[in-house]
Amino acid sequence: MTALLTTNLGATPLIGRGKVRDLYAIDDALLLVATDRISAFDHVLATGIPGKGKILTQISLYWFELLADLVPNHLITAEVSEYPAALRPYADQLAGRSMLVKRAKMFPVECVARGYLAGSGWKEYRGSGMVCGIPLPAGLEDGSRLPSPLFTPATKSQDGAHDENISYEATEALVGPEDAAELRRLTLAIYGRAAKHAESCGIILADTKFEFGRTEDGLLLADEVLTPDSSRYWEAAAWKPGGAQPSFDKQYVRDYLESIRWNKQAPAPGLPDEVVERTLEKYVEAFRRLTGRGIQL
């Protein structure tokens, strides 16, 4: 199986390529194509993970369905047979890894929910005892469960390289008090539903981030949702606060890159076969456990 690192849809207008997704304009809609690229430390690595884009897309589709009664989403269809005729010759690049979605005006805020202390939240807590301006109890460890889930928004840095944690007051200044309150409400409601489902699968949803947009019909959930790329999933049976947790996300790749002492500057290195295979296994296992379904890569 070969990793799909770049798509080419002929005359279809390419809007841009993100770290993972290629974005195309389709009349008044958008086409999101999840490639097999993988990023770490704000760089796209030289090696992809074959089938990763299909897993991410199928997980998003599962969650969009499960959350539909909580919040509308941007999905029009993920069936290539229902795409415009001009796209069908590219079915080999699109099947299982693409979504035709509504165009929306996106909020300039990453809506992060945290149920556990990890990552940038842990680093901030160590320095100030707070996360995004929210005071937390003393004595928490890396991996500790928080007293209650937190809405800890972030905004993209100007160069797009990484997210910067911001306070709720800064979110209000960016989007207005009414929208800020609704984004917080939705973020915590979705996290609560998803964390409960993950727990029933023996998985901890430590934290995750959502993106929301607005159309003439109102606010909706957009981009990917609750994938191992946008979420921190841990093995519940192995959870033990005080350090890194066994995970289903790309932490395994980050750990490998740390082990080879990469300086986190371009060009990014490739990954050895065994790291690629183990990473793919983690993504497949997350999909299987969360959805109860198999996947054809």
Q: Is the pLDDT of residue 199 over 60?
A: yes
Number of other CB atoms surrounding residue 161 within 10 Å: 10
Pairing outcome for strands 203-215 and 218-222: antiparallel
Q: Mean pLDDT across the stretch 235-244?
A: 96
Residues 129 and 61 in one domain: no
Question: Three-state DSSP class for 292?
Answer: coil
Q: Is residue 258, in this structure, part of any structural domain at all?
A: no
* Measured CA distances, 86 to 6, 11, 253 (Å): 19, 9, 37
Residues 221 and 121 in one domain: yes
Q: Mean pLDDT across the stretch 201-224?
A: 96
Count structural domains, the chain.
2
Average pLDDT over the chain, rounded to whole? Answer: 94
Q: Is the pLDDT of residue 115 over 60?
A: yes
Q: What is the pLDDT of residues 268-288, one digit of tens each?
A: 999 999 999 999 999 999 999
Q: Is residue 259, in this structure, part of any structural domain at all?
A: no
Contacts of 178 (CB under 8 A, 6+ apart): none
- 196 versus 244: the higher-pLDDT residue is 196
Domain of residue 199, residue span: 106-251
Residues 146 and 227 in one domain: yes
Amino acid at 51: G
pLDDT at 161 (0 to 100): 55
Residues 31 and 152 in one domain: no
Q: What is the pLDDT of residues 138-196, one digit of tens each?
A: 999 999 999 999 999 998 765 555 678 999 999 999 999 999 999 999 999 999 999 99
CATH code of the domain in which 207 resides: 3.30.470.20
pLDDT at 158 (0 to 100): 53
- 102 and 217 Cβ atoms separated by less than 8 Å: no
Residues 246 and 113 in one domain: yes
pLDDT at 42 (0 to 100): 87
pLDDT at 236 (0 to 100): 97
Contacts of 153 (CB under 8 A, 6+ apart): 109, 110, 111, 112, 132, 165, 166, 168, 170, 171, 183
Q: Mean pLDDT across the stretch 39-67?
A: 96
pLDDT at 252 (0 to 100): 85
Q: Is the pLDDT of residue 226 over 60?
A: yes
pLDDT at 1 (0 to 100): 82
pLDDT at 159 (0 to 100): 53
